[in-house]
């Protein structure tokens, strides 16, 4: 039967998995979340936050929504806002991919790019300061605040977690990339309540402060934070793995050599999953799933661009990755 929708938020492929055995030499299932009109898993959380805001009467049609985003959430909220009749302002920074920025503008959103990072909290802190100034000066603006909004994780508690449980009832380990931690918290809470035997492993990027590591420069948007998200509850996470951006890029290029064009967050979480499994004697016996938040089209000018790699990762990495 044909799928017919009347809204861009009415379509999302939730049951597509890639068996990475032929790519990485281990049976690791990759849940593909990039097949919707926003192009990423963030559409789930964006829809949930707007739905919750409407139910609570926080805003009405014609309101101006504001959010800080490095790209995907901005595109997702632009999609939801356009379909619901809201104005949307996204506050981002220079790491936002050009394709994501153009998509937001094409959908009718206004994009503010914060040029200078905060000395302590990096670009995220600077973006949040800008958001607060905007909302302070405009009483009709509504900040959704994905970093503290429980609807962020609730969207995944209601959808992503149950989708994985249905597809893999014998799941042993779930690997999830940590950005705002919405996907992580939603899935972790779901499995803690329904299937507590499942180990939830968070995969973060080196330079992120989310799990108490020191802050350092990060160039690839998506995972990692400069300010710890308020919705994170560490007690729901069984283990944490940190991955360098160099290893993220290597994994992205390993995947694309097999025809799978994924984004930087996917490269990070797959690498982190493999690193975690490498230390387990029973790794081949485990049923394992990880999540690909988006596809790689928005990263063609960065992760997959030879000039960008040569500039930011000179030497063997740029040569091996770009030539793959």
- CATH number, domain with residue 46: 3.40.50.1100
Give me the pLDDT at residue 3, please. 84
* 157 and 256 in a common domain: yes
Instruction: With a cut of 80, say whether residue 219 has pLDDT above it.
Output: yes
Q: In this structure, is residue 202 part of a structural domain?
A: yes
State how far the Cα of 174 lies from the Cα of 60, in Å rounded to an integer.
Answer: 38
- Residue 127 in any domain: the answer is yes
Q: Is position 148 within any domain? A: no
The CA R_g of the chain, rounded to the nearest whole Å, is 19
According to the model, what pLDDT value does residue 316 have? 47
Close Cβ partners of 58 (under 8 Å, ≥ 6 residues apart): 142
Q: How many domains does the chain have?
A: 2
pLDDT band at 120 (very low <50, low <70, confident <90, very high): confident
Q: Of 117, 143, 169, which residue sits at a domain end?
A: 143
Task: State the pLDDT at residue 100.
Answer: 94
Residue 300 has pLDDT above 60, yes or no: yes
Residues 32 and 46 in one domain: no
3-state SS, residue 139: coil
Which pLDDT does position 28 carry in this prediction?
97
On whether both 221 and 303 belong to a single domain, the answer is yes
Asked if residue 102 and residue 20 are part of one domain, the reply reads: no
Pair 128, 227 in one domain: no
Residue 12 pLDDT > 50, yes or no?
A: yes
State which of 143, 169, 187 marks the end of a domain: 143
Question: In the predicted model, is pLDDT for residue 116 greater than 70?
Answer: yes
The more confident residue out of 222 and 319 is 222
Q: Which residues of 11-22 are buried (b: 16+ CB within 10 A; e: fewer)?
A: ebebeebbebee
- Choose between 250 and 222: higher pLDDT: 250
Q: Are residues 27 and 78 in the same domain?
A: no
Q: Tell me which of 84, 115, 143 is where a domain ends.
A: 143
Q: Residue 43 above 70 pLDDT? A: yes
Per-residue pLDDT averaged across 225-230, rounded?
Answer: 92
CA pair distance 79, 101, nearest whole angstrom:
13
pLDDT tops 50 at residue 108? yes
Whole-angstrom CA distances from 302 to 95, 244, 273 are 10, 16, 23
Q: 273 and 209, same structural domain?
A: yes
Domain membership of residue 62 as a residue range: 42-143
Please provide the average confidence, as pLDDT, over all residues in the chain. Answer: 94
Residue 175: what pLDDT? 98
| Dihedral sign from CA coordinates of 77, 78, 79, 82 | positive
Is residue 170 one of the residues assigned to a domain?
Answer: yes
pLDDT recorded at residue 314: 83
Q: Is residue 312 part of a domain?
A: yes
The verdict on residue 1 lying in a domain is no
* Percent over 90 (pLDDT), the chain: 87
Q: Is residue 291 situated within a structural domain?
A: yes
The answer as to whether 100 is a domain residue is yes
Name which of 221, 222, 202 is nearest 213 in CA terms: 202
* Whether residue 272 sits in one domain with residue 194: yes
CB atoms closer than 10 angstroms to residue 70: 25
pTM: 0.94
Rounded CA gap, 123 and 113, in Å? 10
Residues 29 and 46 in one domain: no
- Domain co-membership, 160 together with 278: yes
Which of the four pLDDT bands, split at 50, 70 and 90, describes residue 317? low
Domain identity same for 159 and 12: yes
> Would you place residue 29 in the very low, low, confident or very high pLDDT band (cuts 50, 70, 90)?
very high
Residues 235 and 89 in one domain: no
User: Of 101-110, 161-170, 210-219, 235-244, which range is least confident?
Assistant: 210-219
> Which of 305, 293, 289, 313 minimizes the C-alpha distance to 69?
293
pLDDT band at 62 (very low <50, low <70, confident <90, very high): confident
């Amino acid at each position: 039967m044909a799928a017919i929708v009347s809204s861009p938020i009415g379509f999302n492929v939730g049951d597509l998995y890639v068996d990475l055995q032929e790519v990485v030499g281990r049976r690791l299932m990759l849940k593909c979340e990039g097949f919707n009109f926003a192009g990423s898993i963030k559409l789930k959380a964006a829809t949930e936050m707007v739905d919750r805001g409407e139910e609570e009467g926080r805003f009405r049609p014609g309101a101006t929504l504001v959010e800080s985003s490095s790209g995907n959430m901005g595109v997702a909220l632009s999609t939801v806002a356009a379909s619901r009749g809201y104005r949307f302002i996204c506050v981002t920074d220079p790491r936002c991919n050009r394709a994501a920025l153009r998509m937001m503008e094409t959908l009718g959103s206004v994009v503010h790019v914060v040029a200078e990072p905060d000395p302590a909290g990096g670009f995220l802190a600077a973006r949040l300061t800008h958001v607060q100034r905007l909302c302070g000066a405009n009483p009709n603006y509504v900040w959704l605040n994905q970093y503290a909004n429980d609807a962020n994780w609730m969207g995944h508690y209601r959808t992503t977690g149950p989708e994985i449980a249905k597809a893999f009832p014998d799941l042993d380990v779930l690997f999830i990339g940590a950005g705002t931690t919405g996907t992580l918290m939603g899935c972790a809470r779901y499995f803690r309540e329904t299937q507590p035997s499942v180990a939830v492993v968070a995969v973060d990027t080196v330079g992120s402060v989310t799990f108490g590591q020191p802050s350092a420069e990060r160039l690839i948007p998506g995972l990692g934070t400069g300010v710890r998200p308020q919705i994170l509850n560490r007690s729901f996470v069984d283990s944490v793995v940190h991955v360098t951006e160099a290893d993220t890029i290597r994994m992205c290029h390993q995947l694309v050599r097999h025809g799978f064009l994924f984004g930087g967050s996917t490269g990070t979480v797959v690498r982190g999953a493999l690193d975690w499994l490498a230390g387990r004697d029973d790794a081949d016996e485990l049923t394992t799933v990880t999540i690909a938040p988006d596809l790689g089209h928005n990263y063609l000018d960065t992760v997959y661009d030879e000039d960008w790699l040569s500039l930011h990762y000179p030497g063997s990495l740029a040569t091996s990755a770009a030539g793959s």
